[in-house]
Structures are given as C-alpha cells and as structure tokens.
Structure 1
C-alpha cells in the first residue's frame, strides 16, 4: 500500500490521539486526586456515578458530531468550502439547542437517578454535587466537541489538540486547587472536581472564539442575523449521526447495567470497576483517533470521487490501529497491578481492578478494528 496514505493517516490521527488522551487524562486526574481524598471509596463512587450519568448523553452529542464530520469532509473533498462552512453553522446551532435541555435535565433530574442506580448515603450526597457541577456547563462541552469535529473534518486536527492542551492544564490546576483547598480557595472535594472539569470547557470555548475572531480557523461557523437554519442539512446530519449515536449509546447502556449490578457488591468493588474503566478509556483512544482519521479521509476521498483511495485510507487506518491496540492490550495483560496502583493505594481496590484489566486486555485489538472500520463506513 502507498506509504503516502499511511503518512496521511498518521498525520491526522496522532493529534486526535493526543486530544483524546488529554480528555482521558482529564478524567484520570479527577480519579487520582479523589482517590487520595478521604474517604476514597465514597469520592470515587460519587464521581463514577456522576460520570456514568453524564456519559449517557455523549452518544447523542458525539453521534451528531460524527454526522457533521462526514458531511463536511465530503464538501471539503469536493472543494465546496462555502457549503462546508454553512454545514458547520447548522451543526453548531443544532448542538447548542440540544445541549440546553440536557443541561437542565442533568442539574434538576439526574441527581435523583443515582439512588435508583444503587447509591446510598454519602455517595448520593457527593454524587449530586458532582453531577450538578458538570451538567450546568454541558452546553460549552457540546460546543467544544462540535468545533473539534468541524476542524477535523477539514483536515485540521492540530488546532483541537492545542485547545485541549489549554483545557487540560487549566483542569489539572483547578482540580488541585478546588479539591484540596489551595491558595486561599475553599476545600470543595468532589464538588471542586466537578467545577474544575465543567469550567475547563468554558475556557476551551473562549479560546475557539478568540481564534475565530482572529480569523485563525481553517473553517468556522458564521454567526449572523442573516444566517438561515437549514432543516435539510440538519436531517442529513441526523441521518448519519443517529445510527452512530445508537451504536455509542449501546455502550453507555451496557455500562449502566454493569453499574447497577456492581453497586450491589459495595463501594470497593464499584471503585475497582471505575478504575478499570478509566484505564480502559485510555486504550480506546487510539481506536477513536484512527476511527476519526478513517471517517475524515474516506469522506474527503469520496467527495473528490476517489473511491479506491477511500478504501485504502480505511484499511491503512485499521492496520495502524491494530498495532496500537495490541500494544495497549499487552500492557493490560502483563502489568495490570501497576496500572491500577496509579489510581489508588487501596489494596482491595487494586486487586479487583487488576483482574478486570487482565481480562479486558485480550479484547483490545478487536475493539480497535471495530472502531476504525465503523469510522470508515460513516465517511
């Protein structure tokens, strides 16, 4: 296969991989710091439940972002740049409108759901704080994600990476300050972690607004009274995005079912499960990165009427992803205990988390192939 295709895949995928790792690092930072904030099992369980509910809405958001990437990539491949910009505008408006009721649901209703997931006592109290803190900023999260998708569809994966670097530096600093009460700020514990995570997306969106105002983005939405909201474009985004969202949603539903089951075994078992998920989320990152590269390249090639190149790009993405995921899976199998100990010093939690990682390590290569091929099909 042409080496130029592999180089193009790597050029697109590596910045996305870094961005995804940074996103995961944001979650891991919360977990590590709260794993050392007593009582650790309560803090970890509260954040784990909060993130589980928060993640329930990601399939809808990311599904629509996937639809946006596919359509913009096609228009970009056709060199129809004006239409690509109009699609970006339609997508941003749609995500903004959808994210508001999601935020309201999260703030006022989601906290009551953690009881039915099996939480009790302090886990409910702390989990409610975390849920409300992150959901109130959900519109900014959705807007940052759609800006990421718009730029990646046009072939710019570096700008989202730089924005994510700023987001994560802010998040780590504010986590430390607000969880433990440093530099004159109050000690907020779990609530502090939620505030730090939520406001980091406000910062990221502000960075995008500054870049757009300075005309530094290769493609961007247009904010004007004369802009028309085009339902035909929205239908196309939903046509591609909803199946992708359902696909992602099945993972969220299965995670929710596991959560309910595992909570019945106590907070130690659930904390171990959360640590396993956090570590496993790192393993997913190469798969997501190469999946986005496959979507972007297949869409651009098909838009340019180069079907053979589209097939080659998807295959190259899959081969490279398999290589990355095999390495990650091997690490889970060979050193699961050391990976678990990064998150907590609790021996009981470490033992159970290591067992989870050992078992899941064997499935990583297959997951990588699945995510990448699915991404290519969406393009």
Structure 2
C-alpha cells in the first residue's frame, strides 16, 4: 500500500494569494490600531492622568470589541466554507444572524456606558482624577457600541468574499477623520472648543458613525455582491442557526473572557499608580500596533484554510495551515525585533516623566521578546482551530491560560508582592508558555480539521 505523498503548496501562488487577502487585512488592522495610537499620543500630550483616564475608559470598549470580534470570527468560519462552496445566499444569512446577535449583546454595553460610566470605571481604578475624566469619555463614545456591532460582521463578510480592499479604504477614511477631529476638539484648533478627553470621545464617536455609514453605503447602495433583500439576511433555518451558535458562542465566550482577563490585568495595573498605568497604556498601544497587523494572518488563515475545508480538501487544508503558521512565526520574530528597536522613538511622542519612560521601555522590550510565541499561539487559537470549528477547545485553552495562570500571576505581583510594573508584566507572559505546549499538540493531532457545512 502506497504512502500518501506530502502535499506540495506552490510558494508563488500562496504569496500572491496572501498579498491579495492578508495584506489588505493587515493594513486595515494597522490603521485600526493606529487610530488608538493617535488617540493615545494626542491625549497623552495633555499628561499622564489624561492618558490613564482614556486608557481605563477604553477597557469597556476593549471588552465589547472582544465580544463582537469573537462571534464575527466564529461566523467567519462558516462564511469561508460557504464561500468555498460558492453559496452566497448562506453567507448573507450568517451575516444577518451575526448582526442581530451582536446588536442585542451590545445593548448590555451601551446602557451601562451611557447611564452608569463612573461605576464601570471604579471597577478598574481607585484614582479619583481618572474616574472624573473618564466617565464623560465613556458616555459620549457609547454610541460606538451600536455602530461596531454592525460594522464588524459586515467587515468579516467582505473579507471572506475576498473584498478586503473595501474595509481597508473605509478604515483609512475613519482614521483620517478621527485624527482631524482630535486635532480640532482635544486642543481647540480652528476655532473649535478645547475639550481635552471629551474631545477625543466626540472624535471617536463621529468617526465610528461615518465608518458604519460607509459600510452600509458600499454594501446596499452600491449593490455589492453581499447586498440582498431583508428576508435573505433574516430567513434562518434551524440547522444553520444551531451550528453557528455551537461554533460561534464558544468563540464569543473565548474573546469575552480573554478581554475581561486583559481588563482585569489593567485593573491591577491601575492600582499601582498613574505613572505605572500610563506606561502600560502606552506600551500596550504600541504593541497592539504590531499584534493586530500580524494577527490579520489569522483572519487570512480562516478564509484560505476554511475554503479548502468547505471543499473537503482536508490534507491540503492541514498543509496550508502548517505553512501559514511557519510564516507567522518568522513574521513574529521580525516584528518583535522591530518593536524593540522602534520603541525608543515612538515612546518619545508621549509626555512621560523619566520614570514613566523607563517603565515603558522595559515593558515594550518584554513584549518584543515574547512576540513570536504569542503569534504562534494566537494564530492557532484565532485561525486554525476556529476555521475547522474546534472552538470549544480553543476557548478552554485561552480562557484557562488567562484566568488560571495570567490573572493570578498579575495580582500576586502587583497587589501582594508589590513588584515593579515591568516584572509583573513579565510574570503575565507565563500563560503564553503553557498555551504553546497545548497548541502544538492539538494542531498536530488534526482534530480541528473538520468540514462544517457539508450537511447544511
């Protein structure tokens, strides 16, 4: 009996496909994280207290984004496999279901954000100035909870159907608008009132509303291939709903609990002092600039590998995922080095005290060293496991690592042993070491290689 020959993936074709699919997603992610960097730099120029206030306020938005991204990511696995089958009608149904669920969930963020922002902030910090400055930011920007709940699922659908340049262009317009409005309303330029932190919230809210308007315009007014009548988005049948929920809810729980874990980290950091939290906020913003761009390869992995799984090409899907993971690790090594080398110049944009700059430099250095490991783990959890519907296992690994390892280590270091902030950040990275061992074993087992749509 002959052994199966190894699958050969033609490099030129793969890189061309990645340039078409992954590169626009990476650029969009870079623009999205640049929006946060622009906000942080502009607000940070006002002082460390203002930077800390916006950073703490953004924790609620960060958790919400995790929930939206989670369900959209779980839905993308189905969209990708339906795209592989050429079933556009089912993609519309999955998109409509994702939007409906995301809008419903977002109300649980919008209501407390609009009416009880100070209570939310007190969960993350005991610094009175940060609560006072941050409550108005949350209240004004709370409209973003509703806009994002629609733009994220539609963006996922555009990406899956290989229309990645559309979200890229829309994000570029949103970034430009946000930056210009920040310039007007934070500092009071061109006759506008100088509103400081509130000005940043107004700029963010307007740019998100514009982003939603452009997405809806492109899809429905310009008659995109995703456009359809209302019943095509809401005419769900039970097998589809059941499978999407079974796959998507673990991803939503995964991203929600991960986001809450990161917010819990920040709740501990926020009790270490204004300087310490400002250093964390700036470091995380810079790190995110790199991480989001790299993790766009995870979205590409869901799309490209998911299409193969939808066609029943299991061996090719496994080989392709293995190749993409390898590329991801190389990119992680390069990006980690670039992060460390560029951090000195980027951090000088912030209005830090010498101690705050020292803390931030050390934290960014730790992030750079651990980046290849973080990228490998992330691409497995966000990419390979999800595209095959292995979302329950991915959820257990991610949530377990954060809450059973990361959170206890951060609270012990920050609030029990009162260690320096950079050492606490180093302790938090222990979760990545454990995840790596588990992810390697699961990937090699091939238990994630599944066709989700063959019987729908």
Contact 1:287–1:367 (Cα < 8 Å) also in 2 = no
Which deviates more from structure 2 when the two are superposed, residues 225-234 or residues 121-130? 225-234
Alignment root-mean-square deviation, CA: 2.0
Aligned to 2:30: 21
Aligned to 1:299: 306
Q: Please say if 1:378 is aligned against 2:386.
A: yes
Matches within 5 A, 1:191-206: 191-206=198-213
Q: Using a 3 Å threshold, how does the CA distance of structure 1 residues 318 and 12 change in structure 2: closer, same or farther?
A: same
TM-score normalised over the length of structure 1 = 0.93
Q: 1:369 aligns with which of 376, 381, 385?
A: 376
Q: Please say if 1:55 is aligned against 2:100.
A: no
Q: 1:6 aligns with which of 8, 15, 27?
A: 15
Q: Please say if 1:313 is aligned against 2:331.
A: no
- Secondary structure of 1:95's counterpart equals helix
Task: Give 1:229 shift.
Answer: 4.9
Contact 2:93–2:235 (Cα < 8 Å) also in 1 = no
Q: Using a 3 Å threshold, how does the CA distance of structure 1 residues 221 and 58 change in structure 2: closer, same or farther?
A: farther
State the structure with bigger RCO (CA 8 A, min sep 6), 1 or 2.
1
Aligned to 1:117: 124
Q: How far apart in 1 are the matches of 2:234 and 2:290?
A: 41
Which deviates more from structure 2 when the two are superposed, residues 192-201 or residues 17-26? 192-201
Aligned to 1:174: 181
Segments of 5+ residues of structure 2 without an aligned counterpart are: 1-8, 388-456
Q: Deviation digits for residues 276-309 of structure 1, max 9, x if unmatched?
A: 1101101212332100000111211111222233
Matches within 5 A, 1:198-347: 198-220=205-227, 222-223=229-230, 227-230=234-237, 232-347=239-354
Which deviates more from structure 2 when the two are superposed, residues 309-318 or residues 15-24? 309-318
Q: How far apart in 2 are the matches of 1:377 and 1:116?
A: 33
Q: Using a 3 Å threshold, how does the CA distance of structure 1 residues 223 and 174 change in structure 2: closer, same or farther?
A: farther
Q: How far apart in 2 are the matches of 1:364 and 1:278?
A: 15
- Secondary structure of 1:342's counterpart equals coil
Q: Please say if 1:147 is aligned against 2:154.
A: yes
Q: Deviation digits for residues 91-139 of structure 1, max 9, x if unmatched?
A: 2222222223321122223431212322332211111011112222311
Task: Give 1:224 shift.
Answer: 5.1
Task: Give 1:244 shift.
Answer: 2.1
Contact 1:89–1:220 (Cα < 8 Å) also in 2 = no
Q: Using a 3 Å threshold, how does the CA distance of structure 1 residues 225 and 312 change in structure 2: closer, same or farther?
A: closer
- Secondary structure of 2:168's counterpart equals helix
Q: How far apart in 1 are the matches of 2:325 and 2:120?
A: 39
Q: Which has the larger radius of gyration?
A: 2
Which deviates more from structure 2 when the two are superposed, residues 310-319 or residues 289-298? 310-319
Contact 1:151–1:218 (Cα < 8 Å) also in 2 = no
Q: How far apart in 2 are the matches of 1:221 and 1:123?
A: 46
Q: How far apart in 2 are the matches of 1:109 and 1:138?
A: 15
Q: Using a 3 Å threshold, how does the CA distance of structure 1 residues 107 and 226 change in structure 2: closer, same or farther?
A: closer
Q: How far apart in 1 are the matches of 2:243 and 2:349?
A: 44
TM-score normalised over the length of structure 2 = 0.78
Q: How far apart in 2 are the matches of 1:141 and 1:6?
A: 31
Q: Deviation digits for residues 170-194 of structure 1, max 9, x if unmatched?
A: 1111111111112222111111111
Aligned to 2:45: 36
